[in-house]
Amino acid sequence: MENKTNRIKKSLYFIFSIIFSILLASAIIINSIPDQIKIFADQTRIISLPLKDVTISVLPETKVIPGGHSIGVRMDVKGVLVVGLQEIDTVFGETINPGMDAGLEIGDSILEINNIAVDSAEEVQKIVNSIQGEIRLKVSRRGNIIHLTITPVQSADDNMYKIGVWVRNKTAGLGTLTFYNPDNKSFGALGHAITDPDTGHVLKVRDGKLLSASVESVKQGTAGIPGEIRGIFYEADDPLGDLLKNTSFGILGTTYKDIENPIYPEPLSIGYQNEVELGPAYILTTLDKNIVKKYKINIDKIDIQTKPKTKSMVISVTDEELIKKTGGIVQGMSGSPIIQNDKIVGAVTHVFVNDPTKGYGIFIEWMLQQID
């Protein structure tokens, strides 16, 4: 009788375990179903899936003018960026680094001194020497705001009061335009962020301009030595537009006037990642003056992504003219639009250092997503 009771108990435990496993699996499946599914059209519907209602947002098809134009970027950053810390020989014969002692780090952005906003090294120097005593700093560090107290010291070199930091508030460079949207005059370029060369940190935009550029020469890339496009850009007398965002997925802003593409005068549709295929494609880029040209590439690998990343696909240059002139992908080509099946599917972002014929591309949808 006792054995029979034990068998019944074991059977009930087994049945309860199965029921619990089924319920757990169901919960996992339900949670894995997205709350929203986006597809093309102009309306929103709710459909019923097993155990869950899902909203389907049907989006209008996006069309933009492809880029490929060489551009100049001039950007003022928010506050002043700390790019170095320096020891000061004081009038009292001591060697002190006030910035480091106060907790400043390379990559910090000094936003305010004693509640006064600062945007240049000259402003920092002026305020520090007008106070000649303890000051309070408002600092941005990796997206967080912190407050530090620092005591400047008088330098034996020039009798100026200093806090022992090297700072920068401007940056500039060349790149390639990815797209222009004539409907709202928005643009995207580069496919990656503008970072400070000394710290590697993404720079926050205070004010920036998109400028016309002309390619003067190209340094060919070889294994281990990246090449680069060398050119000039025209100052702010006649800028193309305003730079509003510097994101990990490219720079974004608005233009003052329409941007034309001689190869594609009419907008092209966006190709989302589910439409990208392995195989032939091409890029648009500028290697001579301001002439946009088309060059053949191959999409070798596609990384299906559920969230934005800058390395969405691996590409290789197959165009003999491009390889002969540049060796493959070079600095300054970042942002060159990738076109496949008459749709813009992405942009060039990085080159393989050991093989300049290969590089990474970002899905165009991740760049467009940053505009909102």
Catalytic residue IDs: 192, 319, 334
| Closest to 88 in 3D by CA, of 37, 34, 160, 21 | 160
- Cβ neighbours of residue 137 under 8 Å, at least 6 residues apart? 102, 104, 110, 112, 113, 147, 148, 149, 150
CA 108, distance to chain mean position in Å, is: 19
CA distance linking residue 320 with residue 336, whole number of Å:
18
Check if the beta carbon of residue 216 is closer than 8 Å to that of residue 322. Answer: no
- Cβ neighbours of residue 316 under 8 Å, at least 6 residues apart? 297, 298, 300, 357, 358, 359
47 membership: H or E segment, kind and range: strand 44-49
CA 234, distance to chain mean position in Å, is: 24
Q: Alpha helices of the chain — where are they, by DSSP H?
A: 2-32, 98-102, 121-131, 320-326, 364-369
Check if the beta carbon of residue 315 is closer than 8 Å to that of residue 297. Answer: yes
Check if the beta carbon of residue 216 is closer than 8 Å to that of residue 231. Answer: yes
CA distance linking residue 200 with residue 205, whole number of Å:
15
Phi, psi (5° rounding) for residue 277? -125, 150
Retrieve residue 46's tokens.
């709710």
Greatest Cα pair distance in the chain: 101
Residue 151, number of CB atoms within 10 A of its CB: 13
Retrieve residue 247's tokens.
């994101």
Residue 315, number of CB atoms within 10 A of its CB: 23
